[in-house]
Chain A
Amino acid sequence: MPDTPVGELGYEQARDELVEVVRALETGGLGLDESVALWERGEALAKRCEEALAGARERVEKALSEAEE
C-alpha cells in the first residue's frame, strides 16, 4: 500500500486510489487493523477529491463571471 501523503496527490491519482481502496474493502479478507487503516486512507482521499472538485468549479464560475463583465 503506497503511502504518499494525500495532499501531494493530483485529483486523478487521488480518485484512482480511492477506487482501489473501495474495491479492496468490498473484496474483504483484510485484517481489522488493515481495514481501519485503509478506511481512514479512503476518507482522506475522498476529502481530497471533494476539495479538488470544489476548487475546479470555483475556477470555472470565476472565469465566467469575469468574461461577462
Chain B
Amino acid sequence: MSSPSTEEAPWPVRTVARKISEWIDRLGAVWVEGQLAQVTARAGTGTAFLTLRDPVANVSLQLTAPMGLVSEQREVVAEGNRVIVHGKPSFFPGRGTLSIRVDRIRAVGLGELLARIERLRRLLAAEGLFDRARKRRLPFLPQRIGLITGRASAAEHDVVSNAQARWPAVEFRIENTATQGGLAVAQIVEALEILDRDPAVDVIVLARGGGSVEDLLPFSDETLCRAVAACRTPVVSAIGHEPDTPLVDHVADLRCSTPTEAGRRLVPDLAEETARIAGLRDRGRRALHGWVDREQRLIDSLRARPVLADPLRDMARRHEELERLRAATHAAVDRRIEREVREIGHLRARLTALGPAATLARGYAIVQRVTSDDVLPVLRSVAQVGAGDALRIRVGDGVVHAAVQDDPDA
C-alpha cells in the first residue's frame, strides 16, 4: 500500500485521491477571512458553493456550505462581503477538487473593520507616512495626468471633464481598475506602478465615487497605502466619501474630497490664467509708459531751462558786461588823462604868466653868472663880473653859455 509509485507500478487514482484527502484532513478545521467573490446558492439544493478571495493577493478558495447555513444569513452571504468562516478543508475525490466545508460563517463587523483601519492608521502615522514634509507639490501645469479609476465611472467623467473645462489641452493616461472588491487593491497597485514608470506622467489621481465603508476598504489597505507612499510621482486622492476618510487620503500628496474637485485642482484655469497674464502685462505696460512719460517730462523741463534752451545767452550777457566794463575803464582812463592834461595846461599857463617867457620871446635875455651855488645870480651890473667869468644866457627857447672877454674899451 505504501510502496512508492513507479512507472512500472503506478498508483491508481483512488489511491492518490485518498492520500491527498488524508493530507488535507490533517490540517483540521481553520478560521479564514476573505471576501466573497461568488455565491451560488440555488433553492432546492442542499449545498451552496461560494468563492472566497484574498483581498490583496489574487488567490481564492472554494467553499461549500449547507444551504441551511446560507439561507439563515442571507445578508452576510452576499458577493463582495468580508466574512470570517470556520470550516474544514476537504478533498472531494469525486471531482478531484479542494474546498472548505463551512460550518460557521459571519460577517467581519463594521466596528472591527474600522478598528483595524484605525490600528493601521496609527502604524502608518508612526512610520511617518502621513508627514506633511513628505508631501510633494503638484506641477502647476501637468504634462500628462495619470488617472486610476473605474471603467466608464462617474468619477472618471468628473475628473476629465472638470480638468478639460479649465484647461482644454489637458492630457490623461487612464488606467481602469476595479475600485472595490477583492481585485481592487492588486489592480490599483499595478496601475500605480505602470503610471509611476511613465516619464510623461507627472501626477497620478486615484478617483472613485462615494460608497460604503466596505466599498472603500481597498483605499485603506496597507499594501495600497504603501504603494502610494512609494510612488515617485505626486499622487492625488479623490475618493468621494463621507463621513470616514480612507487612509490613502493621508498618504496622498493632495487630498481632494471629490473627483470633481480633483479635476479642478489638477490644472490651472486657462481663462483665469490668461486673464491674469493679460492683467499683469497690462500693468507692466502701464507702469513702463508711466515711467517713460515721467522721464520725458523731466527731460523736457530740463531742456526748457534757460541754460540749455539758449546756452549762449549767459555768455553773451557776460560778454556785454565785459564790454561795458572795458568801455567804462577806457572812459575813466581817458577822463583821468584829460583832467591831468587840463591841469598841467593850467599850471603851464600860470607858469608862463608868472615867468619871463613873454619878455624872452620878445628878444630879451637873462644873463646869469655861473657859480658853484645852486642859485645862479642874475647879472645886473658889469661890476659883477670880470674877464674869464662863465655866463649862462637864457633866451626864449633855451640856454647859451658864454665867457666874459677883456673889454677893449676899458
List the interface of chain A (C-beta within 8 A of B): 1, 3, 11, 15, 18-19, 21-22, 25-26, 31-37, 39-40, 42-43, 46, 49-50, 53, 56-57, 60, 64, 67
Contacts and interface: CB of A to CB of B under 8 A. Distances in A.
What DSSP secondary structure best describes chain A's contact surface? helix
Interface string B372-392: 001111100000000000000
A41 B80 CA distance: 156
A21 B351 contact: yes
Nearest to B336: A56
Given A33-B375, A33-B377, A42-B355, A60 B347 contact: no
Contacts of A64: 330
A15 B351 CA distance: 13
Contact of B340 (A25, A53, A67): A53
Is the interface on chain B under 10, 10 to 19, 20 to 34, or 35 or more residues?
20 to 34
A34 B366 CA distance: 13
B368 to A, nearest CB: 7
Contact of B347 (A34, A40, A46): A46
A49 B326 contact: no
Interface of B: 326, 330, 333-334, 337, 340-341, 343-344, 347-348, 350-351, 354-356, 366, 368, 374-378, 394
Q: Give me the 3 closest cross-chain CB pairs, A-B, nearest first.
A: A39-B355, A25-B354, A42-B351
B99 to A, nearest CB: 137
25 contacts: A11-B340, A15-B340, A15-B344, A15-B347, A18-B347, A18-B351, A19-B347, A22-B354, A26-B350, A31-B375, A32-B378, A33-B375, A34-B375, A36-B376, A37-B375, A37-B376, A39-B355, A40-B394, A42-B355, A46-B348, A49-B340, A50-B344, A50-B348, A60-B334, A67-B326
A33 B330 contact: no
B207 to A, nearest CB: 102
B381 to A, nearest CB: 13
